[in-house]
A and B are shown apart, each in its own frame.
Chain A
Amino acid sequence: MIEFLKRLLRTPQGAIGLFVVVLVLLIVIFGPMLAPNDPEKMAPLARYKAPSLTYLLGTDQYGRDIFSRLLIGARATVVMAVLATIIGTLVGALIGTTSAFLGGRADEFIMRTVDAVMSIPSLLFALLVVNLLGSSTVNALVAVAIAFAPGMARITRSVALSVRKQDYVNAAMARGESSAFIIRREMLPNVVAPIIVEMTIRISFAIMLFATLSFLGLGAQPPAAEWGLMVSEARRYMHLSAGILIWPSVAIAIASIGFNLLGDGLRDALNPRT
C-alpha cells in the first residue's frame, strides 16, 4: 500500500489529484462546522455584496453567504456524485462479472443488450428516469447510477475476462495454488484496480450530470446549496454580480479536475510498464 502510494505520488497528476481530492473530502467532512453563516438565511439588505470580511466570497441574489453555502454544499455535491458512481459501478460490476462468468450464449445475450442500452445517451437516459420517478435528489442519484451501470458492466466484463487469461494467473494455477488464493491475491487486485481508475474519473462526470439535471430543473431542489444548482440559478443573476456564478463554478472545476487527475495518476501508477 505504501509502495503504491509512493508510486502514485511520483506521477505529478497523482500528486496534485490526491492533494485536491483529500482537500475536497476534508471540506465534505468539516465544511458544515467551518461555515461562518447560515447558508439559507436571507438578507434583503445584503444582496449581491462583494467579498468582505463578513462574507468571504460575497453574497448571492438572496443575500446569502456564498462561502458558507459552498462549504455546506460540498456534501450534497460530492457525496451524491460518489454514491451514484459507486452504486452504478456495483450494479455494472454485478452484470459484467455475471456475464463473464456465464460465458457463451448468455454472455453474448447480456452484452448485446448492454450495448443496446448504451445506445441511449446517458444524460437522456437519466432524464427519462428522473421524469419517471419525479424530480428529487434521491431520484437524480438513482438516475445517474442507472445511466452509469451499462458502461461499467462492459468495462468489468472485459477486465474480468482479460485477467483470467493473464500469465500470472496461469502461473499461480500451475504452482497449484488454491482457487481462493488465486482469486484473492492475483485476480481481485487486478480486476479492482482498473475499475477504481474508471470510477474516479466517472465521479467528475457524475458531478457534471447532477449539475446538468439541476440546470434542467430535475436535480437538487432549491434552496439546497448543491454546487450545480447554485451555478444554474446564478446564471440569471450573473449580470448583477459575477461572483454568484464564478465561485461555485470554481468549486466544481477544482473538484472535477482533482478527481480526473487522481484517476490519471492511479492509472499510471497501476500500469506496470513504467
Chain B
Amino acid sequence: MLEMKRRFFLAGTAAILAAPAMTPAFAAAPTKGGTLRVSIDQAVSVIHPLLTRVNPEYLVSELLYSNLTRLKVDMSVEADLAESWTANAELTEWTFKLRSGVKFHDGSAFSADDVVATIKAILDPANASPGRNNIGPIASVSAVDPQTVSFKLSGPYADLPVALAYTNARIIPAAIATGDFKSLATKAVGTGPFMLKSYEPDRLIVVERNPAYYDPARPYLDRIEIRVFPDLSAEGSSLISGDTDIMSTVQPTEFLRLKDSDGVDTLRVASGQFCNINFGCDTAPFNDARVRRALALTVDRQAMVDFVTEGFGTPGNDTPLNPSYQFFKPVATREQNIAEAKKLLAEAGHPNGFEATLIASDRPSVRGQLAIAIREMAKEAGITINVQTMPHATYLDQVWKKGSFYVGFYNMQPTPDGIFKLLYTSDASWNETRWNNKAFDALVAEARGTTDKDKRTDLYTKAQALMNEEVPSIIPAFFDVLAAKRSWVQGFEAHPRASVFRLDYVSLTDKAPKRG
C-alpha cells in the first residue's frame, strides 16, 4: 500500500514536470498568438461550470476554469490546480497539495477554501449540479492549510483523482460558491487559461488569453471564437471553406466528406462512447429480463456498426465497457439468434411478439438511425417497434430518465466505475434503467476499494457478465470519437472522453489566416 501512495504522488509530480513539454513531438515548437475558430453543433445554453450538461458547454467551461486534475488523451490524470496527491492505505482519506500563486480572473487569490466551497456546492442538492454523484463518495472535505485539501470518503475509492477531473468539478471562488451561486450563469470567474470576453448562447462565445494563467507558456492562442452551427452539413462546409479551424465533433457521414477535403485533417480515436436502447426495467413488458434479452438477440451487431457508425466504431456486447477502458476483459459476444429470441418471448408470455414505441431524440442523429435499424431487426422476431423522434430538448424534458424505451447516447467515462455509477447501479446519478440489481451493485462497490489490478478486472468482468445476462440496456455498438481541423492547427487531438478538448495546447502555424 505504501508503494501505492508513492506511485500516486509520483504520478502527480511527474505530470507537472512534464507539462511544458506536453505538445506532441512531431509538431514544431508552438508559435504564440492568433485567433482560433472552433465550431460546435449545439447551443451553449449554460456556462455555469457546475451546471453544464453537454459537450459544447464542457468545451467552454474547460477554457475558463480549472479542475484539481485533468484527463490526458490516454485517459490518465495529470495535475491541474493540484500539484500532487496521496491517499491512506484504505483509500478512504485523500490529501491534495495545491499549486501556489494562482489567481482567479477577477484578481483574487486561489486557495484551499475555494476548493472546499466548490466541492460542497457540487454536493449540495439545492444547487442541482449534474456532477453531484460523479466526483466520488466524498463524505467531507476540509482545508488543512491554504495549500492543502483533505477529502474523507464514505468508502474506499481508488479513482478519486480521476473523478475530480470530472467535467463539472471546476473550481470556482468560495465567495461565489457560498454567495451568489447563480451569478456564474452570465459571467465567468475561473482560473482557466482563457477569460470570457462575450457570450451569446446561440451564436458566438469569445474567450481571450488569461495573462495571469499559472503556466507562463500556455495558452498559445490569444483568442478563441466558439461558433454555434445548428446544421451539421453547414458546419462541415464552414470548415472546408476555412471559415472555422476546428470542428469539435464530427458525425461519421460528415467525416467521410471531410477526409477528402484539401487542407482538412480528420482525427479519429477509439472510444467507449456508445448509443444504447434503454429499458425501464420496472415497466411491462421490459420488467422481464427474457424480453430484454430476446430483443438483444435480434441485433446483428456488425450490421449495426455499419448502419450507425459507417464503420467508425466497434460492436458492443450490451455492457458499457470495451477495450478503451482500463480493467477490461471481454465476455462472450452475443450473436444474432432469432430462434432463441422467439423462444424467450414465448416463455415470457409473448408468443406473438409485442408492440412498443421507441423514442429517439434528433441530436446526435445516430439515435434515429439506431432506432430505425433495430426496428427492422426486431421485426424478424415478431416485435413491432414504432419509432418516434423528437427535438433533443423536448426529449430531455419529457423522456430522459422517465421513459421506458428510448435511445440513449453517452460519452466514455474516465473509469469503469464512472460509467457504472453514472447509469447502471441502483444509486447511479441517472439510474434510467431502474435495473436496481443488488448483486451488480455489490460487485461495483467492491471494485471501488480494490487496488489490485487483476482482482479489480475480475470484479468488473463479473459485473459485465451480469449485465450481459440481464440486459438493462442494449449496447449494440461503440463509436470512435471523430473530430476535424484545418492543417494549420497544431496540438489538437481527438479525446476518447469526447468532452475534453485541451484547447490550451493548440496553436496556429504561420499558414493560418490572420484574423483581427
Contacts and interface: CB of A to CB of B under 8 A. Distances in A.
Contact of A44 (B253, B303, B362, B369): B303
Contact of B390 (A135, A223, A238, A240): A135
Given A216-B391, A217-B362, A222-B368, A236 B257 contact: no
Given A41-B376, A44-B307, A235-B233, A217 B391 contact: yes
B253 A237 contact: yes
Nearest to A236: B253
Nearest to A223: B372
Interface in A119-173: 131, 135-136
Contacts of B368: 222, 233
Given A236-B253, A239-B257, A222 B306 contact: no
A217 B390 contact: yes
B251 A236 contact: yes
Given A40-B376, A221-B389, A222-B372, A62 B256 contact: no
Contacts of A136: 388
A42 interface: yes
B362 A222 contact: no
Interface of B is mostly: helix
A121 B391 CA distance: 21
Interface string A9-48: 0000000000000000000000000000000111010010
A218 B251 CA distance: 22
Contacts of A239: 233, 253-254, 256-257
Contact of A236 (B303, B365, B388, B389): B365
Interface residues of A, number: 23
B387 A223 contact: yes
B371 interface: yes
Contacts of B387: 221-223
B388 A62 contact: no
A99 to B, nearest CB: 37
A32 to B, nearest CB: 19
B458 interface: no
B253 A222 contact: no
Given A135-B390, A235-B233, A44 B300 contact: yes
Interface in A217-250: 217-218, 221-223, 233, 235-240
A45 B362 CA distance: 26
Interface string B248-260: 0001011011000
B375 interface: yes
A222 B307 CA distance: 15
B233 A62 contact: no
A221 B388 contact: yes
A42 B254 contact: no
A222 B371 contact: yes
A233 B303 CA distance: 19
Contacts of A216: 391
Nearest to B360: A222
A218 B307 contact: no
A217 B310 CA distance: 22
Nearest to B392: A217
Nearest to A224: B387
Interface residues on B, range: 20 to 34
Contacts of B376: 40-42, 62, 223
Interface string A60-93: 0110000000000000000000000000000000
B60 to A, nearest CB: 25
A86 B365 CA distance: 34
Contacts of B204: none
Contact of B375 (A47, A223, A240): A223
Contacts of B390: 135, 217-218
Nearest to A238: B233
Task: Give the most central of A47, A135, A221, A235: most B CB within 10 Å.
Answer: A221
A239 B251 CA distance: 12
B232 interface: yes
A62 B387 CA distance: 15
B307 A62 contact: yes
Contacts of A221: 386-389
Contacts of B254: 236, 239
A222 B387 CA distance: 6
Nearest to A48: B310
A237 B368 CA distance: 14
A69 to B, nearest CB: 13
Nearest to A217: B362
A46 B368 CA distance: 20
A223 B376 CA distance: 10
Nearest to B366: A236
Given A44-B300, A222-B368, A217 B389 contact: yes
Interface in B151-206: none
A66 to B, nearest CB: 15
B237 to A, nearest CB: 10
B420 to A, nearest CB: 32
Contacts of A240: 253, 256-257, 310
Interface in B274-291: none
Contacts of A235: 233
A47 B311 CA distance: 13
A47 B376 CA distance: 15
A11 to B, nearest CB: 40
Nearest to A135: B390
Contacts of A233: 368
Given A236-B232, A236-B365, A239-B253, A47 B306 contact: yes
B387 to A, nearest CB: 6
A75 B10 CA distance: 69
The 5 closest A-B pairs by CB, nearest first: A239-B257, A44-B303, A217-B362, A42-B376, A223-B372
Interface of A: 40-42, 44, 47, 61-62, 131, 135-136, 216-218, 221-223, 233, 235-240
Interface of B: 232-233, 251, 253-254, 256-257, 300, 303, 306-307, 310, 362, 365, 368-369, 371-373, 375-376, 386-391, 394
Given A62-B307, A62-B376, A239-B253, 12 more contacts: A41-B376, A44-B307, A61-B369, A216-B391, A217-B389, A218-B390, A218-B391, A221-B386, A221-B389, A223-B376, A223-B387, A240-B257
19 contacts: A40-B376, A44-B307, A47-B306, A61-B369, A62-B372, A62-B373, A135-B388, A216-B391, A217-B389, A221-B389, A222-B368, A222-B387, A233-B368, A236-B253, A237-B253, A238-B233, A239-B256, A239-B257, A240-B256
